Structures are given as structure tokens and as C-alpha cells.
Amino acid sequence: MERIETRLADGRELIYYFDTAAPAAGVPADTRDLAETGGPRSELRHDALRGEWVVVAAHRQTRTHLPSDDQCPLCPSTADRATEIPADAYDVAVFENRFPSLAGDTGRCEVVCFTSDHQASFRDLTPLRARTVVDAWAERTRALSELPSVEQVYVFENRGAEIGVTLAHPHGQIYGYPFVTPRTRRTLDIVRAHRDCTGGDLHAERLDAEHADGSRIVARTEHWTAFVPEAAHWPFEIHLYPHRKVPDLPALDYAERDDFARLYLDVLRRLDALFGVPMPYVAAWHQAPVRADRELAWLHLELFSSRRAPGKLKHPAGSEAGMDVFINDITPERAAEMLRTAGEPDR
């Protein structure tokens, strides 16, 4: 993989990642007439009763929303239309979000474009391209972790209109939060309490239990296991764990990154094969905080879909949204069996 760094017309950072060699001629400049960044920013407000931070980002009301294919801002630029990507083709591109939820003292938001092909999805990538994306995730995690305003780096992808995606082009995002998120803090506290009480590692014990049981494993490779957790919240929820304990994406070695790329493509293709239609999903990387409790964390990816049957979605309603108590209509064992028998993924 090679990379080229540049800047967009308003000063935002743009990085191209290439599967193999970067073009000898370099990359074109952004010719748009854009004002320098520095407009309205988000603010943090603290919910005292829940002990959680809320991000208020009123400026995002004007962000691009479900544009037509020929107006997509993530497609390559053409002679007739300049986009967020000045190049006329690219492998992977990462840039600062034009409408960030977090920026400056309140963190950072980046967009990760997986391919210049507007009609593709992550599942359509080659193993080589998927590996380039993994390397880009790892590099950006390292870079954002060095920012003084960032306490946790969150890499994720939302896919499908049912999830609330506003841009159809295959892409994900990276958030650099100025605090440790509530979900991560709760998990770390539970892992710490378990260690203090038993001396064991709850992540390791959980992974060992899934290996021993076997009924919820979807796929397993030399370095990774994909399984439906015993207490899955969503109809189809798959966790992908490396067998070696590492805190974050930069800590993965060469073989682990290669192995993940192949396994993840397998899992995504199985997910789409369940009902013969593209499954909406959220893919969320859980990484250690930047500066605290890193020894408690175990890097893993949680992938979940709100589709429970053809034409039927699982919506967080009264119990889920109001009380954080999930009610699942499909047993995890049945979900894992359906994924295992969804047919061999396309090659």
C-alpha cells in the first residue's frame, strides 16, 4: 500500500491510499471555490442524570441528504462536476468531514471511501482492497490518537437506507471523541470488576466459551472467529474477535490484517445471502481508549442488522429506546445456523 496526502480547497485534509503503487503523476488539486473551514462547530453538553456527554451539532442540518447518483459528493470528480474527491478515480480515500459532528476542541470526524465505484458495497471489494481499507483504518486510528483533543477513536460503517444512511456511496466514518464513550466505559468497568474478582479476562473467557460451545460460531480462521453472541441484541449480530489480545487496529500484525479482510468479506456475503437482498447494517469497531485502561480492552468488530425477516425490520421501540432493554425475536443459535447455511459466499 502507498499513500498521498493533500488538502481540499477549504484546507481539510485528504489522503489517498493505493492498493499497490501511487500514480507517478501524483493527484490533482481541488479547484472548487470553498471558504476556509472555521464555521459553526458542535458543542458538548453533559446529561447529569445519565452521566453522559451529548454532542449538539446544529450546523449538520444543512448536510447533503440522499442526493441522486449523479450528484454524489463521494464519487470521483469529472470535467463537469467537482466533488470531495478531486481525482478521476481512486482506490481508498479518507478526508475530514465537511459537516463534522466533532471538530477542533470537540474531536474530529473523517470519511473513509472504500472505492470509487458508486454501485459497489464493502462486500464487493477484493481481499486486496479490503486489506487496504484495514490499513487505512489502522493508520488513521494512530493519527487521531495523537491529537490532544481525542480520547477514543471509533471506526464504523453504516450501510443501507433502513439504518439512516444519507449517502449511498460505499463509505464509512472515523470519529475521534473527546471523551470515552458510555458503551466503552461500561464494558471496561465490567471487565475490570471481573478481573479484580476472579483474576481472569472476561473477553478471553467469552471467546473460549464460544469455541467450546460451537453452536453460535459463523466462521473461524487461523487468527479470527466470527460468532453470534449468546445474548445478541439484534436479530442478526456477529462479533469478530482476533484470537490474540490487542488493544486497537494499529496493533494487528500483517497476518491478522490479511486474515480479517478475507473473513469479513465472507461474513458480509453470508449476511446478504440470508434473504437475497442487501442487508442494512452497522459495523462498529471497539478499540481501547487512547490514554486509559488500554490493558482491559480487546479489539473486536460488532456487526449487526436491523432486518429480522424479508420486509421486516427490528426497530428500537419502547423497551429498547426507553429502558435500554433489548428484546430479540430470533435466538442467537438459530441466527448463527442461518448464517452458516446461507450458501458459500461468491468468490
pTM for the full predicted model: 0.95
Q: Is 233 a catalytic residue?
A: no
75 a known binding residue?
A: yes
List 171, 203, 223, 300, catalytic entry:
171
Spatial distance between the Cα atoms of 124 and 117, rounded to a whole number of angstroms:
10
Residues of the chain with CATH 3.30.428.10: 2-181, 183-340
Sheet strands (E) in the chain: 2-7, 13-18, 43-47, 52-56, 92-96, 108-113, 152-159, 171-177, 217-220, 224-227, 236-242, 281-286, 300-305, 307-309, 312-313
Instruction: Give the CATH class of 2-181.
Output: alpha beta
Q: Report which secondary-structure segment, H or E, holds 277.
A: none
User: CB of 211 within 8 A of CB of 315?
Assistant: no
Question: What pLDDT does 329 receive?
Answer: 92
Confidence at residue 345, expressed as pLDDT on a 0 to 100 scale: 47
CATH classification for the domain delimited by 183-340, as one of 3.40.1550.10, 3.40.50.300, 3.30.1130.10, 3.30.428.10: 3.30.428.10
Residues of the chain with pLDDT under 50: 345, 347
197 annotated ligand-binding residue:
no
d(CA 325, CA 320): 5
Cell of 328: 430479540
For 95, phi then psi, to 5°, come to: -145, 160
| pLDDT value of position 213 | 97
